[in-house]
Structure 1
Amino acid sequence: MNEASLYSKYNGLQKNDASFVIDNYLRLIQWHNNENILDVGSGDGDVILELLLPKLPKNFNKFVGTDISEEMVQFAKSKCNNNSKIDFLRLDISSSNVPPEFHEYFDHIFSFYCLHWVVEQRQALKNMFDMLKPGGDMLLTFLARNPIYDIYENMAKSNKWAPYMNNIKKYISPYHHLDNPENELENFLKKEGFISHLCRVEERSYTFPSFSVLSKSVSAVNPFIKKLPENEIDNYIEDYIKEVRKLETVTIESYNNNNNNEEKIHVPYKLFVAFASKPQ
């Protein structure tokens, strides 16, 4: 996800789900004065700056947004208007060690649409546990299952695209093929020492207004495009769209838009919402 400006224009799905979680689950958090807050996987910063911060108490001490992509970090920084209480830093949440200055530093941790990218789930959760103060909590949301992963797997089987789509499991949610993903995540949380208060899979759907918007949204997050030769990117997107049309779970609806025939794409998926705390 290194095309920060493209992602910022075509992240409607991610912002839609972040709004849903903030509106319905932010109430679980108890706030106090002068608290430190962490966001894991901040991307372009839109979710924090546009959706989350307006809903938070104004008397927090520090808000730190993090992302594995330095390009995303710099893009988010450019939107901060030199607010001394807000900073964006590069952080790999699955690294073997967290920065020492963050050990038991944060009162609250958020993460929106990040953890499905993380293969080392236990290490990521351990790091968040270590960064929370005793009694601190975290609110997480990320994909449990999505048709996009079925498309990745189907395209990786083709002779044409397989050379560019190796290590396919690295880019598929670890929970995508599980019958009871809630149980798996809850077990991970408990094994890392968390008290799990909520671990739920929400049935969600999102409608892309056209295949053009879907194509740009795919280009913004698809991890394989940057591995392709420049002259093959359009062909890859075309084949991706063909795979979308094959999916039985996806509904395509034709409609007339300013005398142009368009198609809406309704995509169902499963979204994790988890709320857990570190014991006092």
Structure 2
Amino acid sequence: MARLFILSRSSPSSGTAFDVACEMIAEAKKLNQAENITYSVGDATRLTTYTEYSKAFDKAVAHYCLHWIKDSKAALKGIYNSLKPGGLCFLNTTQKNPDVIDTLRALGNYNNPRWDAYMKSYKHAYYPFQGSVDDYKEIISSIGFEVIDCTQEVVELPITFDEAKEYCPNFMGQLGRFPDDVREEYVEEAVKYVLDTGYKDDEGFTMTICVISAVARK
């Protein structure tokens, strides 16, 4: 699951990708080994303290990662600080929407009495945006960005059950609590429970996520 922050320079063409989790950085390196990409472990909420990043980049991308950060506004301020004047950014985040089943929250909180021993006191670190598109535009503008575009989309992802078992664990932080010998069974049970709501046919399901996306200029 791509959830890295990407900061890029136009000249010379290069990019810096970072995430707070070492595991995500390791996975990203496996997927893309281009020589002009630098991978770093970093905290998005502390971007303003990374002096080497200040006004250093032409573009920034926060792709499906802001909803994993409790203080996402701090991350947005860091992105603003990292961009050169006139720099562009693309942002997206999932939105809490009563009309759309929150697949990511359901996957992260799935439980039944059988799994209580592993889920006890677990809190899923997931923070979908709580407001409207206009609310999101106001937050971005208050930081100093010029909002070029900001829209809401209900993303429907057709997926087979087997694909879901491979894909959905990316959203399930609780899996680290489960021993290897029961993890696969737990994932299968959680995925079936969640995706049954989007049942389409004997093999396929639809994952539904409400997303706010924005393009903004410093």
Unaligned runs of 5+ in 1: 1-10, 15-38, 43-47, 255-262
Deviation digits for residues 99-153 of structure 1 (CA, Å, limit 9, x no counterpart): 1100111111112121121111111111111111222121112322563235247
Q: Which residue of 1 aligns with 2:106?
A: 151
Deviation digits for residues 183-241 of structure 1 (CA, Å, limit 9, x no counterpart): 33222212222222211111221111x21111111123321111223333133223303
Deviation digits for residues 168-190 of structure 1 (CA, Å, limit 9, x no counterpart): 3x22x332xx4x43133222212
Q: Which residue of 2 aligns with 1:117?
A: 68
Among 24, 28, 43, the alignment partner of 1:72 is 24
Amino acid in the other structure paired with 1:252: K
Q: Which residue of 1 aligns with 2:178?
A: 228
Q: Given that residues 140 and 273 in structure 1 are in contact (C-alpha distance below 8 angstroms), is that contact kept between their aligned partners in structure 2?
A: yes
Residues 61/152 of structure 1: CA separation in 2 closer, same or farther (3 Å cut): closer
Q: Which residue of 2 aligns with 1:252?
A: 200
SS at match of 2:87: strand
Amino acid in the other structure paired with 2:128: P
Alignment of 1:20-169 (within 5 A): 40-41=4-5, 60-77=12-29, 79-81=32-34, 83=35, 85-95=36-46, 97-145=48-96, 147-152=102-107, 155=110, 158-161=112-115, 163-164=118-119, 166-168=122-124
The percent of aligned pairs where both chains have the same amino acid is 20
Amino acid in the other structure paired with 1:251: Y
Unaligned runs of 5+ in 2: none
Shift of 1:274: 0.4
CA–CA distance in structure 2, aligned partners of residues 106 and 239 of structure 1 = 44
CA–CA distance in structure 2, aligned partners of residues 75 and 150 of structure 1 = 23
CA–CA distance in structure 2, aligned partners of residues 96 and 104 of structure 1 = 11
Deviation digits for residues 217-271 of structure 1 (CA, Å, limit 9, x no counterpart): 1123321111223333133223303422552xx13312xxxxxxxx111222222
Q: Given that residues 68 and 91 in structure 1 are in contact (C-alpha distance below 8 angstroms), is that contact kept between their aligned partners in structure 2?
A: yes
Q: Which residue of 2 aligns with 1:22?
A: none
Q: Given that residues 186 and 199 in structure 1 are in contact (C-alpha distance below 8 angstroms), is that contact kept between their aligned partners in structure 2?
A: yes
Q: Given that residues 107 and 132 in structure 1 are in contact (C-alpha distance below 8 angstroms), is that contact kept between their aligned partners in structure 2?
A: yes
Amino acid in the other structure paired with 2:103: I
Instruction: Please give the TM-score of this superposition, normalised by the length of structure 1.
Output: 0.65
CA–CA distance in structure 2, aligned partners of residues 142 and 220 of structure 1 = 16
1:217 and 2:167 aligned: yes
CA–CA distance in structure 1, aligned partners of residues 115 and 144 of structure 2 = 42
CA–CA distance in structure 1, aligned partners of residues 161 and 83 of structure 2 = 42
Task: Report the aligned-residue RMSD.
Answer: 2.9
189-198 or 118-127, which deviates more: 189-198
CA–CA distance in structure 1, aligned partners of residues 77 and 146 of structure 2 = 13
